[in-house]
Structure 1
């Protein structure tokens, strides 16, 4: 018997390898995949502004990286004993404006450098619902879209669903900006399977449908754009609440692992998949908790994985396994 519906996924014409640099931006699902890429030995940068859900905030962030836009303290606002930016996640907030500005500008500068060299840019869109700032919002341009609400009062925002034309315009523009900035870049679009039920079930489906339509229009238009069906894998393939966390909103470990395996199969060749397995065995050893760190058995274990890791780095010098090598060496 079949208990889920599997479908074919179009493979990337140029598979991703460990030599490639991958830039990821978008919803919290971006960070699920980003963590798996990091643990598999890839060179990545993810969400330099923090998690962003809507296409306007994503496009504004990418434009900011390309232009290497710096901010200063006048661009922040003070709320609940902290300084915040309307364009950034709360992880960039701080009890001092100076510290927040420093974190934001450092992240932007690093993103500028990385984005210029990126081979693949993965954009995950979560929602077409946006929250525009009202005249009550502190230090805000009325009508501009907040990337994060920072638990501000509800009357600081107006909610609206973007029109298809608005999404197409903002994404089309940022795609052109990316290709002018980095002509070798290829872009992979995904739609997050995270359900935005705070908007309502019908409203969430309207939003996802709008994003899917916009993205496919753009993928058909540009040669270096691709679509990976993360949303469809969870919604149509797995299609069961047992693959969601208790909140019934976020895909659980088994769902994200399933999507990851499908992504690897669709975007990487056999040589890269084999290298991932070797790196994952090193990661398991790196996370191993011994009963007795001073035992000869544990020292032999560390020596074995130090030699294995060093040999792998010699063979693939673009792999960043410095912390693993240092860990294995420290116990010898």
Structure 2
């Protein structure tokens, strides 16, 4: 039979991710999709403390602020359309009150500083190689916040520029955290607002950058999320209606490959048991006070306790409280 689909083997990580690992994830919106699944299964994962970032320069700038222990001040904010913003951060931090904006930014900053200091894994998802720099001082911004385009220079990074930024970060990071390992992925999101040809050029820069670094450092690895969607699934039915973002099916497919090839074998066996607890918590009974549902709650309270006793690193207190009616 003719094969109308290309599949390829995904190499398992030489050092797999474990449930007990601390994970920091930074980068594009695709990082959030995978990160949220890790959090759902109760991995200790902190996702995008700066919000979504796309290009290598903005991502490295954010990580340098964690290494510096930076605390943001009003000097780091600007006002546009009655809202206060940070050039370094996603618009989810923006607001009408500068004190509240800074509070949100610095709370996330403190969490990121702690997580990176102790991290076993840093997962970086690069989205695009295009940068936007302020015309006033050439500063590369993480988000344009709907400021008029005339305020920015747009540039496609060269591979040497991207490599240099990330290479410098790696040296500094490895000096500060002797155990951290870094897993690179490239987002399969197609940034067609830059243009179809331009998007492909951008992804090519990221590919060359990542593989140069992975070949240079022993503690760097690559997971082919981009190839799984673009070359394996390779069909618009695996994209949302915007034809840009992978849909739930595609994300689940990438997640399945991630768990199969990146997780410790013993932890893979835990996932179905944790998933069962999560599904049970999401169950909405027809009669909450009925004897059948009360028996259901008792059963899953017992299963949750047993799982926590067997694996003390699993933080299932919220689920246990739900089943015990507390």
Question: SS at 1:226's partner residue?
Answer: strand
Matches within 5 A, 1:95-174: 95-135=96-136, 142-174=137-169
Q: Distance in 1 between matches of 2:303 and 2:175?
A: 41
Task: State whether residues 41 and 276 of structure 1, in contact with CA within 8 Å, keep that contact through their aligned partners in structure 2.
Answer: no
Pairing 1:297–2:288 present:
no
Alignment correspondent of 1:268? 263
Alignment correspondent of 1:40? 41
Q: Distance in 2 between matches of 1:20 and 1:312?
A: 18
Task: Report the Cα offset of residue 16 of structure 1.
Answer: 1.3
Q: Distance in 1 between matches of 2:75 and 2:18?
A: 42
Alignment correspondent of 1:244? 239
Task: Report the Cα offset of residue 317 of structure 1.
Answer: 0.9
Q: Distance in 2 between matches of 1:201 and 1:49?
A: 28
Alignment correspondent of 2:95? 94
List per-residue Cα deviations over 1:172-225 (Å, max 9, x = no partner): 011112111111000000000000100000000000001000100000000000
Alignment correspondent of 1:178? 173
Task: Report the Cα offset of residue 246 of structure 1.
Answer: 0.6
Question: SS at 1:160's partner residue?
Answer: strand
Task: Report the Cα offset of residue 43 of structure 1.
Answer: 0.9
Question: SS at 1:16's partner residue?
Answer: coil
Matches within 5 A, 1:228-243: 228-243=223-238
Task: Report the Cα offset of residue 229 of structure 1.
Answer: 0.4
Task: Report the Cα offset of residue 322 of structure 1.
Answer: 1.5
Task: Report the Cα offset of residue 269 of structure 1.
Answer: 3.5
- When normalised by structure 1's length, the TM-score is 0.96
Alignment correspondent of 2:214? 219
Alignment correspondent of 2:29? 28
List per-residue Cα deviations over 1:8-64 (Å, max 9, x = no partner): 111111221111111110000000000111112211101000000000000000110
Task: Report the Cα offset of residue 310 of structure 1.
Answer: 1.1
Q: Distance in 2 between matches of 1:285 and 1:66?
A: 40
Q: Unaligned stretches of 5+ in structure 2? A: none
Alignment correspondent of 1:208? 203
Q: Distance in 2 between matches of 1:274 and 1:243?
A: 28
Question: SS at 2:31's partner residue?
Answer: helix
CA RMSD of aligned residues (A): 1.1
Q: Distance in 2 between matches of 1:134 and 1:285?
A: 54
Matched pairs, number: 325
Q: Distance in 2 between matches of 1:320 and 1:44?
A: 12
Runs of 4+ with >6 A deviation: none
Question: SS at 2:243's partner residue?
Answer: coil
Pairing 1:71–2:72 present:
yes
Q: Unaligned stretches of 5+ in structure 1? A: 136-141
Task: Report the Cα offset of residue 265 of structure 1.
Answer: 0.9
Task: Report the Cα offset of residue 144 of structure 1.
Answer: 0.7
